[in-house]
């Protein structure tokens, strides 16, 4: 086994180890993870929230036992593969061992370590962006059409994972037109690759059409509830923080694309990063949408810097170049991961607030970062719903209806009673089993409100049960209501609500 291979394996092993060590045991899974895991029970060519690939991975996780180990494994795997692709890109660009180690260090000690902690489409999204760029480099170097076809397959996987990869093409196409590489558009293989990608994503496009393009509704809802709070200055600040210790490498890469002769054929990448970021800024996108654009520039920068520091006194600067990403990662280690208890963070919130980590999607500061607060209270909620469900005689005629997908997903994931909770929120609106006649209702509400007065009269018995009591949980204040022996046709009422929820 060569020295390079041993070092690469070392980086990959460290990547996996850190992915398991950087989450404190006090946390549950994050709310989105429960939804994605539940999609394994409803396989389809599309969902309201995401395309189908996540559900396929969730099905594999289900076959493996749905343990936290496997849930954490897949995002860590995609992060490790991103590191591997950058390593291979550096080799393709004729980088030496120093360039390889520098690139791997920059990838490892970056926002990707944080991104790869959660089971969400984002980790595979970044991998697909990076792999697409890599195979495009392979094609330009070799002029072999097979790399374009592989790139097309990667793009299709990325599209079926998260539509965000469409912005890769939005940034790439005008960039190619601005350089001599516009000649690529005269090659037949380009169009065959486009056809291949289209055929692979067609089942999802058909699903979108048959379901009246729920992605449009989802984007409108996202824009109204979350993107409206996005500050463009905060977006740009986050781009710097994501690869804080590696920006000098990215800048070297950008310079090399303009001035280093072996890289001039890749000059269109220089324009790609600026056009892509500009489009995200224009649309007020979430800051992490742009992460996938950066890893390939670490490959360009690492190779170019290795050429500069290859002899004389500059050799001593190699150690400094390797140390900078690690040293600047230290603050991120202390404040950028859920590796401390929620109580500790709440008691030492000043620094988190100064770094903007307590700002939620509502534009306000809270006691914990939003993702951390979204990882609390779920087991408590599921256990209490289980106890209520167990006390009801006609369990088969009981429906558990939640206000949001996190509640429904967490109950389904942790339930020991086989509960299949539903909601009018997100994908759950499509998962109601109305073939079963219901007479009882367990209602999980975000807040108490007037639920007893509003819903109670339709049942012979109504009561309120304490819900989530963890004040640091985003679900704090969630209340459980029990309604027994309906005086009305619950199924008809639910059917009407489902139709209303599906009216875009």
Q: What is the pLDDT of residue 219?
A: 67
**Mean pLDDT per 10-residue interval, the chain, length 504 residues:** 93 96 94 96 93 97 96 97 98 96 96 94 98 98 96 98 96 95 92 97 94 76 60 86 92 96 96 96 90 97 94 82 92 88 90 84 87 94 94 92 95 95 93 93 85 87 89 93 93 90 70
Given a contact cutoff of 8 angstroms between Cβ atoms, the answer to whether 109 and 326 are in contact is yes
Q: Which of these, 162, 32, 475, 97, lies nearest to 306 by C-alpha position?
A: 97
Q: Which residue matches tokens 């486009």? A: 194
Given a contact cutoff of 8 angstroms between Cβ atoms, the answer to whether 414 and 383 are in contact is yes
Q: What is the pLDDT of residue 222?
A: 62
Q: Encoding tokens for residue 282?
A: 């224009």
Q: What is the pLDDT of residue 300?
A: 98
Q: Which of these, 170, 160, 169, 81, lies nearest to 121 by C-alpha position?
A: 160
DSSP line for 468-487: ---TTSTTTT-EEEEEEEES
Q: What is the pLDDT of residue 220?
A: 66
Which CB contacts under 8 angstroms, 24+ apart, belong to 187-195? 187/145, 189/145, 189/148, 189/149, 190/148, 192/145, 192/148, 192/149, 193/145, 193/148, 193/149, 193/151, 193/152, 194/152
Helix (H, G, I), strand (E, B) or coil at 464: strand
Given a contact cutoff of 8 angstroms between Cβ atoms, the answer to whether 291 and 112 are in contact is yes
Q: What is the pLDDT of residue 448?
A: 66
Q: What is the pLDDT of residue 229?
A: 58
Q: Which residue matches tokens 């269109």? A: 268
Q: What is the pLDDT of residue 316?
A: 80
Helix (H, G, I), strand (E, B) or coil at 409: helix
CB atoms within 10 A of CB 191: 12
| CA 150/CA 140 separation, integer angstroms | 13
| CA 398/CA 139 separation, integer angstroms | 58
């Amino acid at each position: 086994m060569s020295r390079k291979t041993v070092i690469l394996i070392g980086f990959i092993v460290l990547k996996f180890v850190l992915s398991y060590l950087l989450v404190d045991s006090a946390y549950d899974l994050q709310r989105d993870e429960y939804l994605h895991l539940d999609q394994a029970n409803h396989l389809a060519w599309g969902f309201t929230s995401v395309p189908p690939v996540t559900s396929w991975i969730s099905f594999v996780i289900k076959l493996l036992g749905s343990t936290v180990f496997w849930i954490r494994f897949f995002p860590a795997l995609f992060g490790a593969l991103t590191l591997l692709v950058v390593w291979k890109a550096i080799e393709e660009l004729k980088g030496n061992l120093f360039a390889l180690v520098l690139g791997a260090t920059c990838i490892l000690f970056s926002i990707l370590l944080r991104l790869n902690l959660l089971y969400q489409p984002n980790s595979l999204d970044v991998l697909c962006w990076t792999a697409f760029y890599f195979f495009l480099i392979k094609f330009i170097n070799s002029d072999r059409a097979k790399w374009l076809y592989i790139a097309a397959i990667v793009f299709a996987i990325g599209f079926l994972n998260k539509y965000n990869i469409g912005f890769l093409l939005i940034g790439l196409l005008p960039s190619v037109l601005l350089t001599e590489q516009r000649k690529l558009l005269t090659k037949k293989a380009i169009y065959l690759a486009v056809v291949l990608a289209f055929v692979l994503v067609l089942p999802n496009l058909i699903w979108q059409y048959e379901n009246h393009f729920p992605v449009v509704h989802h984007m409108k809802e996202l824009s109204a509830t979350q993107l409206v709070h996005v500050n463009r200055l905060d977006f740009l600040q986050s781009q710097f923080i994501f690869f804080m210790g590696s920006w000098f490498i990215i800048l070297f890469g950008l310079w090399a694309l303009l001035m280093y002769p072996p890289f001039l054929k890749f000059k269109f990448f220089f324009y790609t990063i600026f056009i892509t970021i500009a489009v995200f800024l224009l649309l007020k996108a979430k800051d992490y949408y742009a992460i996938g654009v950066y890893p390939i520039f670490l490959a360009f920068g690492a190779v170019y810097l290795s050429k500069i520091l290859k002899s004389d006194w500059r050799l001593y600067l190699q150690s400094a170049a390797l140390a900078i990403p690690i040293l600047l990662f230290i603050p991120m280690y202390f404040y950028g991961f859920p590796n401390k208890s929620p109580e500790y963070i709440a008691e030492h919130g000043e620094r988190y607030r100064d770094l903007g980590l307590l700002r939620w999607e509502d534009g306000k500061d809270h006691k914990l970062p939003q993702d951390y607060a979204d990882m609390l209270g779920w087991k408590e909620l599921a256990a209490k719903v289980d106890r209520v469900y167990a006390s009801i005689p006609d369990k088969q005629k009981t429906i558990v209806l939640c206000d949001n997908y996190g509640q429904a997903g967490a109950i389904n994931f942790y339930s020991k009673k086989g509960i299949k909770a539903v909601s009018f929120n997100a994908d759950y609106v499509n998962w109601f089993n109305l073939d079963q006649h219901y007479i009882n209702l367990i209602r999980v509400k975000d807040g108490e409100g007037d639920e007893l007065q509003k819903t109670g009269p339709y049942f012979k018995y109504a009561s309120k049960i304490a819900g989530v009591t963890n004040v640091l949980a985003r679900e704090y204040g969630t209340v459980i209501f029990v309604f027994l022996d309906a005086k009305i046709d619950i199924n008809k009422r639910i059917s009407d609500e489902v139709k209303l929820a599906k009216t875009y």
